[in-house]
Amino acid sequence: MIKKVSVAILGSTGFVGLELIKILSRHPNVNIVFFGTENNPDTLLKEIDPTIELPNNPSTKLNTNFDTSLAETVFLALPHGVSHKYVKSFYNKLQIIDLSADFRLDNIDTYKINYNETHSVPDLLNAFIYGLPEINKNILNNKNNIAVPGCYPTSVLIPLIPLLKNNIIDSKNIVIDSKSGYSGAGKKFDISNIKNSDDLNFFNYNTNSHRHICEIKQELNKYTKQTEVLFSFNPHVLPNFRGMMSTIYCDLLPDTKIDDVINCFNDMANKNKFIKFIQNDQRADFFSIQNTNNCVLKIFEHYDSSKVIIVSLIDNLIKGAAGQAVQCFNLSKGFDESLALNK
SS (H, E, C) 51-82: CCCCCCCCECEEHHHCCHHHCCEEEECCCCCC
Bridge partners for 235 per DSSP:
178
Where in the sequence numbering do the catalytic residues fall?
151
Q: Beta strand 295-301 with 244-251: parallel, antiparallel or unpaired?
A: unpaired
Buried b (16+ CB within 10 A) or exposed e, 147-156: bbbbbbbbbb
Neighbour-count burial of 37, counting CB atoms closer than 10 A to its CB (0-12 exposed, 13-18 middle, 19+ buried): buried
- How many degrees, rounded to 5, is the angle at CA 162 between CA 157 and CA 166? 145
Between CA 166 and CA 66 the distance in angstroms is 45
Give me the sign of the Cα torsion angle 47, 61, 79, 8.
negative
